[in-house]
Amino acid sequence: MKFLAAAILPTLVTGQSSFTLRVLHMNDHHAHLSEDTLSIKTQTLPPEITVNINKTAVPEVKLTIGGFPRLMTLLNDMEQKSTADAILKVHAGDVFSGTLFYTLFGGYADMQLMTPMCFDVMTLGNHDFDDGNANLETFLTNLTKATTDVCGSATKVASANVIPPADTVLASLLLPYVIKDYDGQEVAIIGLTTKDTANVASPDEGTQFLDEITALTATVTELEGKGINKIIAMTHVGYDVDMKAISSVKGVDVIIGAHSHTLLDKNLTDFIIENSYVPLNYHELGELLSVAGPYPTMSNNVCIVTAWCYAHVSIQ
């Protein structure tokens, strides 16, 4: 039984209907670079679905799920088949901490596998500060150089509410936002990091984490002053905060969330059971996968998406 997943933001249509932007996003992979195994007790499945081996019911099935090799294959396929005018690829933070890949290599293995994915923009999660600023700086410096060499342009790093100490490597790499110009269509991506990072991680002394709403509001105002009216907030603050607070900031069109490891559901997922195709909706798995809401979630007329966690993102 195999499970393959990734998430796609619905096509963003600008004021000119002839321009569409497809956004591919992931978040919170926490050094889960190889595939994981998910066990499912068969009694949690809908009653019309049975799993038998040699006509004998089995109590448990295991799925291989996620992993960067799968995601890279899927990403390439999505790019090749996309009919959008442009593609934006983003990572919403928490690269670090979670497996021996990070314990042993401190982010270097993540950098190597993220490089060929050629993310346009990433933001920082709280766990990216778990080992201080120096380790994060090393990761970002290596990622910047590697993506410049492999992709032709560097993965940019954005967080509007993080203020590193002056004259540091992090200060030189971190931007409040990134503006992408697609044949005259300007789209801004604002990064945000949970202000709780100062208390739950180990950033260097002097690293400030400002209030997310205050920073976002000021940044949106700045961008609108530049004539930019297509704004994506890439937030590492959690699904509830996105729905209740971030979406209330006027001028934000789309929120790409992270931090809360939230699974959203839209379409059917393909489960292969004994070589038979079985369409199974996430909701039918009940509490097993803990679906929190629809993909996308709409709040205050803002489109909110997030891509679960551990590179176990869902095909939408």
How high is the pLDDT of residue 290? 65
CA distance 32 to 30: 6
How high is the pLDDT of residue 16? 54
Beta-ladder partners of 174: 157
- Backbone φ and ψ for 59, nearest 5 degrees, come out as -80, -15
- Would you say residue 139 has pLDDT above 80? yes
Average per-residue pLDDT in the chain?
Answer: 86
CA distance 113 to 69: 9
* Global model pTM greater than 0.85: yes
Q: Which of 223, 228, 249, 137 is nearest to 184 (CA)?
A: 228
Condensed to tens digits (0 to 9), the pLDDT of residues 143-190 reads 999 999 999 999 999 999 999 999 999 999 999 999 999 999 999 999
Domain 2-306: which CATH number of 3.40.50.1000, 3.30.365.10, 3.40.228.10, 3.60.21.10: 3.60.21.10
The total of other beta-carbon atoms located within 10 Å of residue 103's CB is 10
Between 302 and 274, whose confidence is greater? 302
144-158, 189-203, 257-271, 287-301: lowest mean pLDDT where? 257-271
CA distance 303 to 247: 8
Going through 123-238 in order, the beta strands assigned E by DSSP cover: 156-158, 162-163, 174-175, 177-182, 185-193, 208-209, 231-236
Q: Mean pLDDT over residues 51-57, rounded?
A: 72
- Would you say residue 193 has pLDDT above 80? yes
CA distance 64 to 25: 21
For residue 120, which amino acid is it? D
15-19, 102-106, 234-238: lowest mean pLDDT where? 15-19
Q: Which of 70, 135, 128 is nearest to 312 (CA)?
A: 70
Decide: 225 and 275 in contact? Cβ < 8 Å: no
